Amino acid sequence: MENNILVIGAGITGIEASILLANAGKHVYLVEKSPIIGGNIIKFEHVFPNFECATCLVSPRQQEVLQNSNIELLLLSEVKKVTGKPGAFSVKIKKQARYVDMENCIGCGACYDVCPVKIPNEYEENLMQRFAIYVPYSGSLPNVPAIDTENCIRFAGEECNACQESCMFEAINYDEKDEELDLKVDAIIVSTGFQQHKPVAKYGWGTIDDVYNAFEFERIFASNGPTTGEIKKKDGSEPKSIAIIHCVGRDENKYCSAVCCINSLKFIHYLKEKIEDIKITNFYRDLCLPGKKYDKFAGDMKSLGTDFIRSDDIEISSGDKSILVNYMNGDAKKQLPADMVILSSSIEPQKDNNDLAKVLGIELDSFGFFQESDPDFGTETSTRDGIYIAGCAQAPKDIQNCVTQAQSAVEKALFQFNLK
């Protein structure tokens, strides 16, 4: 027994699990592939059903992770090899160089003001630009930039040390090397989260202007996003009508993601808050609102004013003056013009789940999520002893259930220590 536990993925699930384990006196290695912690939840401006600000919810927890001496945070890191057995796993981690010293950097931002490289910011759904030395969002934690070597011109061979020169704290070190770390851990919790489905061609996403998927729209609404919260069309004008399409990706994935309906209804509030007289139409199949609060939430949202059209065959095309939503209603083919379209895309397994599953020696299900040991009684145990799964890595679910699973996975990991 090493008293160490590895948590893979620092979204809300991994954060919750790490804090609990640290409080229980375990030493936690929290491995995260991006340069920051927080995962997908920090993209949200508000979360349903209470419209709480996601940053306000998560930032105290993020601080706790950064300040807890029992948690060793390994950013820009990936698990490369796992051998051994429960109570004695040997883990090889590849930790990419950040090129910015976490201790010395104070997050003043002087370095990115001088960076000559400008590229789309994938964390802002490519709606904003970032530099080659960057923090993903304003206010992300830890507030320490990283150098993206794929886009940095210095790493492409050009002579540039603008960021290093600008740094008054000598925090930037171009000679930093990638590291390989060998860890000994007793148990592993996998909380690698999800990725958003890329809508197929018929939805016009990426080809027709003003067609956004849910996260894109979330960032457009976000007060720290590309338009600082103003809902605008690409030409700068205010949309007068908007269509929200539910269940985008359901046919391809063959499951319901459980949260998109409620999240789509939340958008009604977003829209009415900013543009009072906007005309909203929801295209849905079945309104999936499981749980004690959501019918009321849906009622509140509907009362703000929106049309509902039940249709499971939808195609988006571009018209002369606006976007056209072509849909089947019963047997009739119909059309609705809209200035903007939001596609409520489903939750999908991370594309690198397959590699991670191989490394960990656990199985995936037919969709590509991690396979649980029992669909009713073991949703947090993987197919291998000592390795636990939680959050959207296991199946699509809402934040509440992600946190529940994190806490449950912690119980199972602690149970293994017989620490009762």
Partner 1 sequence: MLKKVTANSKPRSSFNNGKFMPKSSVKKGNPKIEEDFFPKIVAFCCNWCTYGAADLAGTSKFTMPPSISVVKVMCSSRVDPVQVLESFLRGADGVLIAGCHPGDCHYDNGNYYTRRRFALLNEVVQSLGLENDRLQLSWISASEAKKYQQTVTDFTEKIKKLGRNPLWVKSEI
Partner 2 sequence: MKERIGIFLCECGPNIAEKIDLDKVKEALEHLPNVVIVARHKLFCSLQGKEFLKESIKENNLTRFVIAACSPKQHELTFMIVAEDAGMNPHLFQMANIREQCAWIIEDKDEATKKAILYIKAAYKRVIYHESLDKKEIVANPDVLVIGGGIAGIEASLALAGPDRKVYLIEKTESLGGKIKEFDEVFISFKNGQSIIDERLERIEKEDNIETRLQAEVIDVKGFLGNFIVIVKTGDSEEKIQVGAIIVAIGFELINLSQLKGYGSLDCDDIYTGLEFEKMKKEGKITTKSGSVPKSVGIIHCIGRNEVGYCSGVCCLSSIKFSKYIQDKLPGTNIFEFYRDLTLPDKAYQKFYENIENKGVNFIQADDIKIANEKGLKIKYNKNKSTQPVDMIILSPAYVPAKDSNSLAEMLRIPRDDSGFFTEEHPKLAPVNTSAEGIFIIGCAQGPKSIKDSISQAHAAAGKILASIIPGKKLEPEVRISYINEAFCIGCQKCLNTCNYGAIYFDNLKFISIVNEVLCHGCGNCIASCNSSAIQLKHFKDIQMHQEIIEILR
Structure tokens at 196: 């958003």
Residue 413 is which amino acid? A
Examine residue 138 and tell whether it contacts partner 1 (CB under 8 A). Answer: yes
Interaction partner, residue 369 (partner 2, partner 1, none; CB < 5-8 Å by kind): partner 2
Would you say 26 and 198 are in contact if contact means Cβ atoms under 8 Å apart?
Answer: no
Residues near partner 1 (CB under 8 A), total: 20
Closest distance to partner 1 from the beta carbon of 216 (Å): 17
126 binds partner 1 (CB under 8 A): no
Closest residue by Cα to residue 205 from 217, 221, 218: 217
**What track of x and - describes contact with partner 2 for positions 149 through 188 (by CB under 8 A)?**
-------------------xx-------------------
Token code pair at residue 399: 């934040």
DSSP, collapsed to helix, strand or coil, labels residue 334 as strand
- Interface residues for partner 2 in 61-120 (CB under 8 A)? 61, 63, 67, 103-104, 106, 108, 110
Please give the single-letter amino acid code of residue 112: Y
Among 293, 333, 334, 358, indicate the residue that binds partner 2 (CB under 8 A). Answer: 293
Q: Out of partner 2, partner 1, none, which partner does residue 324 contact, by CB within 5 to 8 A per kind?
A: none
DSSP helix/strand/coil, 299: helix
- Choose the one of partner 2, partner 1, none that binds residue 7, judging by a C-beta under 5 to 8 angstroms depending on kind: none
Helix (H) or strand (E) holding 84: strand 77-85
Q: Which of 68, 70, 104, 143 binds partner 1 (CB under 8 A)?
A: 143
Kindly calculate the radius of gyration of the chain based on its CA atoms and give it in whole angstroms: 23
| Site membership for partner 1, residue 53 (CB under 8 A) | yes
Query: How crowded is residue 217: how many other Cβ atoms within 10 Å of its Cβ?
Result: 25
How far apart, in whole angstroms, are the C-alpha atoms of residue 416 and residue 208? Answer: 53
Q: Which of 232, 315, 320 is nearest to 278 (CA)?
A: 232
As given in the structure block, the two tokens for residue 258 are: 């459980």
Q: Which does 209 bind (CB under 5 to 8 A by kind): partner 1, partner 2, none?
A: none
DSSP letter at 133? E
Least distance (Å) from partner 1 to the CB of residue 135?
10
Q: Which residues does residue 29 pair with via DSSP β-bridges, in sequence order? A: 6, 72
Q: Which is nearer to partner 1, 137 or 369 (CB)?
A: 137
Compare residues 235 and 376 and give the one whose CB is closer to partner 2.
376
| Segment interacting with partner 1, rule: CB under 8 A, options 222-230, 277-285, 324-332, 374-382 | 222-230
Instruction: Tell the burial category of 28 from Cβ atoms under 10 Å away from its Cβ (0-12, 13-18, 19+).
Output: buried
Residue choice 2, 24, 27, 59 for contact with partner 1 (CB under 8 A): 59
Amino acid letter, residue 139: G
Told to check if 67 binds partner 1 by CB under 8 A, we report no
Residue 329 binds to partner 1 (criterion: CB under 8 A): no
* 401 binds partner 2 per the rule CB under 8 A: yes
**Paired strand residues for 179:** 95
| Closer by beta carbon to partner 2, 119 or else 309 | 309
The total number of residues shown for the chain amounts to 420
Backbone angles phi, psi at 273, to 5 degrees: -65, -35
Q: Using CA atoms, how far apart are residues 360 and 97, in angstroms rounded to an integer? A: 24
- Scan residues 373-392 and list those touching partner 1 (CB under 8 A): none
Sign of the CA dihedral with 31 first, then 191, 13, and 195 last: positive
Site size with partner 2, rule: CB under 8 A: 70
399 binds, among partner 2, partner 1, none (CB under 5 to 8 A by kind): partner 2
Residues 4-63, interacting with partner 2 (CB under 8 A): 12, 16, 20-21, 23-25, 47, 49-50, 52, 57, 61, 63
**Choice from 180, 207, 328, 415 touching partner 2 (CB under 8 A):** 415
Coil/strand/helix, residue 312: coil
How buried is residue 358: exposed, middle or buried, by Cβ count under 10 Å (0-12/13-18/19+)?
A: exposed
Amino acid at 253: N
Q: Which residues bind partner 1 (CB under 8 A)?
A: 45, 50-56, 59-60, 107, 109, 138-139, 143, 222-224, 228-229
Q: Which residues bind partner 2 (CB under 8 A)?
A: 12, 16, 20-21, 23-25, 47, 49-50, 52, 57, 61, 63, 67, 103-104, 106, 108, 110, 168-169, 250, 254-256, 258-259, 286-296, 310, 365, 367, 369, 374-377, 379-380, 395-397, 399-401, 403-412, 414-415, 418-420
